[in-house]
Amino acid sequence: MQQEGVLPDKICFVATLNACGGALADLRLGKLIHSCVLEAGLESNTVVATALVNMYGKAGCLDEATRVFRGLGRKDLVSWTALMSAYSREDLYREALQLFREMTLHGLDGTKPDRSYFAFLLQACATLSAAAEGRLAHRRIQECGYDSSDGVLGLGIINMYGKCGNLRAAHEVFDGMSERDTVAWTTIISGYAHHGHSEESLLMFWRMQQDGSKPDGVSLLCVLSVCSHAGLVEQGWDFFLDITKEFGVEPGEKHYGCMIDLLGRSGDLEAAEVMIRRMPFQATAMNWAIFLAACKVHSDTERGKRAAEKVLELEPVPAAYVSLSNIYAAAGEWDQVDRVRSAMKAMGLQKDPGRSSIEVNSRVHEFWAGDKSHPRAAEIYGLLESLTRQMEGSGYVPDTKLVLLNVSEEQKERLLCFHSEKLAIAFGLLSTPAGSSLRIIKNLRVCGDCHTAAKFVSRIAGREIFMRDSQRFHHFQDGHCSCGDYW
């Protein structure tokens, strides 16, 4: 075509870009066509630019897709959705949520995104516990005429409300569904389970069976997880033994993993280790990692060493080295700690640092232990020191045994004071209206001392604190946590 001297128009560019991003999956050719688009002066054309965003998005070139999108003067629903889809493919939830906020401010209320757009948006809100945006997404779904009880969207809304801590709203949507399949029941059971509502979870499991829905492997896994997190050892054993006999499901690696977790959390490490060694298949690194975590919690150094060796044998990841180092540190074996850390350094492995984030006024603020990079660091640290004095006056005692460093008690107390969870809480108290709730996300298991401190702060400051860590959700209110201090 070009050899004949015929210049491509926007329709031709869109067709070829769609081919590059689709069946051809040819990024090199796509970039070549992009250069032709630039020569033709069509990069600012909404239709052509949207095709470029789609092409780059499907190729995983998110920076370039975003650059083209940002260069558009006039953006329509299709162009917004194209970038949202690109973020969706890469699970970039935070970027997707920011895009949704911009789209809302852009004034596209009269438009109607498709179901897949909302399904991903709901997943983003659920992943980030973005309650305000989740409610807005639900309202937009209704405004667009979609049925909240629709299979995919209904499940997404229930999951979103569950992950954001609004179990009442989740249950209302669930009750409004005309038909509830096993997936719907499992979603609502999981919502209650993650927030420590074990009785409600088990009641819903019973209702599920009364309703005629047959539990599958996923729903049974969810029930075992409920028992594990609530310390219901006897009920957990009963469910596990009935999986095949009563429900016709063959227990798999994850079911055994839940039982190892159940026994490990309860402190029965001997039974947990026996279960790992007697499983009908080879234990995975994850099975041993679950056991290793229990050994760490219950300070069983010898079993912890064995578990760590197994994890490292199967999957030598930084987390296993860190756990082994922590077990040695808790036992005061500092030479062994140095040996493990030297091995990590030699292999170029680094510990995943604990970090806590809180969103205020649509902006995410992230903190690390001892972090002083925040513009309000002086205020944050000052408030934390004041809070610590108030907490100590109410009976709080810093749990220095959780500081796995060979330093003085005074230094340990100082280090505990400025953990990432506490920094995020202090910033939240400074930055939000009195009486409003705080929502914090921790990438690792919440520190035991920070868990205790959050209970004290919830009572002293009169705030509800929702904290989501790698294990579960914690709802702190008036000096108590929804997990009952069992997590």
Residue 378 domain-assigned? yes
Residue 28 domain-assigned? yes
State the average pLDDT over residues 58-66: 91
Confidence check: pLDDT of 24 > 60: no
Pairing of strands 355-360, 480-481: unpaired
Same domain, 401 and 473: yes
Domain boundary among 43, 64, 90: 90
State the average pLDDT over residues 310-331: 84
Strand order in the sheet with 480-481: 363-368, 355-360, 438-442, 465-468, 473-477, 480-481
pLDDT tens string 156-207: 999 999 988 899 999 999 999 988 999 999 999 999 988 888 999 999 999 9
Q: Which amino acid is at 66?
A: T
Cβ atoms within 10 A of the Cβ of 111, count? Answer: 15
Most confident of 38-47, 49-58, 395-404: 49-58
**In angstroms, how far is CA 463 from the centroid of its own chain?**
23
Average pLDDT of every residue of the chain: 88
Looking at residue 5, its pLDDT comes to 46
Please check whether residue 125 is in contact with residue 97, taking contact to mean a CB–CB distance below 8 angstroms.
yes
State the average pLDDT over residues 139-145: 90
Same domain, 68 and 38: yes
pLDDT tens string 358-412: 988 878 899 999 989 999 999 999 999 999 999 999 999 988 887 777 677 788 8
What's the CATH code of the domain at 257? 1.25.40.10
d(CA 447, CA 296): 13
Same domain, 348 and 410: no
| Apex 459 CA angle, 453 and 464, nearest 5 | 90
Looking at residue 312, its pLDDT comes to 87
Residue 139 burial (CB < 10 Å; 0-12/13-18/19+)?
Answer: exposed
| 24, HSE (Cβ side, Cα atoms, 13 Å) | 13
Looking at residue 207, its pLDDT comes to 94
Confidence check: pLDDT of 421 > 60: yes
Residue 167 domain-assigned? no
Looking at residue 232, its pLDDT comes to 93
Region of poorest pLDDT, from 5-14, 41-50, 402-411: 5-14
CA torsion, points 12, 62, 117, 33, in degrees to nearest 10? 0
Looking at residue 332, its pLDDT comes to 81
Higher per-residue pLDDT: 258 or 43: 258
State the average pLDDT over residues 61-65: 92
Same domain, 365 and 280: no
* Residue 278: both structure tokens together: 């007697």
Among the listed residues 4, 3, 34, the one whose alpha carbon sits nearest the alpha carbon of residue 20: 34
341: left (phi over 0), alpha (psi -120 to 50) or beta: alpha
Please check whether residue 157 is in contact with residue 184, taking contact to mean a CB–CB distance below 8 angstroms.
no
Same domain, 335 and 360: no
pLDDT band at 107 (very low <50, low <70, confident <90, very high): low
Among the listed residues 177, 126, 182, 185, the one whose alpha carbon sits nearest the alpha carbon of residue 154: 177
Domain boundary among 327, 352, 377: 352
Which residue segment(s) compose the domain that 205 sits in?
181-232+241-250
Strand-pairing partners, residue 8, are none
Q: How far apart are the first and last CA of the chain?
A: 66
* Residue 463: both structure tokens together: 């705030």
Residue 353 burial (CB < 10 Å; 0-12/13-18/19+)?
Answer: exposed
Confidence check: pLDDT of 109 > 70: no
Residue 209 domain-assigned? yes
Kindly state the percentage of the chain with pLDDT values over 70.
96
Residue 97 domain-assigned? no
Among the listed residues 247, 237, 308, 243, the one whose alpha carbon sits nearest the alpha carbon of residue 275: 237
Please check whether residue 384 is in contact with residue 424, taking contact to mean a CB–CB distance below 8 angstroms.
no
Confidence check: pLDDT of 483 > 90: no
Same domain, 283 and 226: no
Domain count, the chain: 4
Looking at residue 22, its pLDDT comes to 62
Alpha helices by DSSP H, listed for 280-346, are: 285-297, 301-314, 318-330, 334-346
d(CA 234, CA 262): 10
Same domain, 321 and 390: no
Kindly state the percentage of the chain with pLDDT values over 90.
50
Same domain, 393 and 469: yes
Domain boundary among 90, 123, 156: 90
Please check whether residue 420 is in contact with residue 354, taking contact to mean a CB–CB distance below 8 angstroms.
yes
Same domain, 245 and 272: no
Higher per-residue pLDDT: 154 or 6: 154
Name residues whose C-beta falls within 8 Å of residue 36's C-beta, 6 or more positions apart in sequence: 8, 13
Confidence check: pLDDT of 148 > 90: no
pLDDT tens string 251-298: 999 999 999 999 999 999 999 999 999 999 999 999 999 999 899 888
Looking at residue 21, its pLDDT comes to 67
Looking at residue 7, its pLDDT comes to 58
Residue 166 domain-assigned? no
Residue 144 domain-assigned? no
Name residues whose C-beta falls within 8 Å of residue 342's C-beta, 6 or more positions apart in sequence: none
* Residue 21: both structure tokens together: 């991003």
Same domain, 395 and 285: no
145: left (phi over 0), alpha (psi -120 to 50) or beta: left
d(CA 377, CA 397): 24
Please check whether residue 376 is in contact with residue 430, taking contact to mean a CB–CB distance below 8 angstroms.
yes
Same domain, 364 and 476: yes
Please check whether residue 318 is in contact with residue 350, taking contact to mean a CB–CB distance below 8 angstroms.
yes
Same domain, 421 and 347: no
d(CA 375, CA 365): 11
Residue 477 domain-assigned? yes
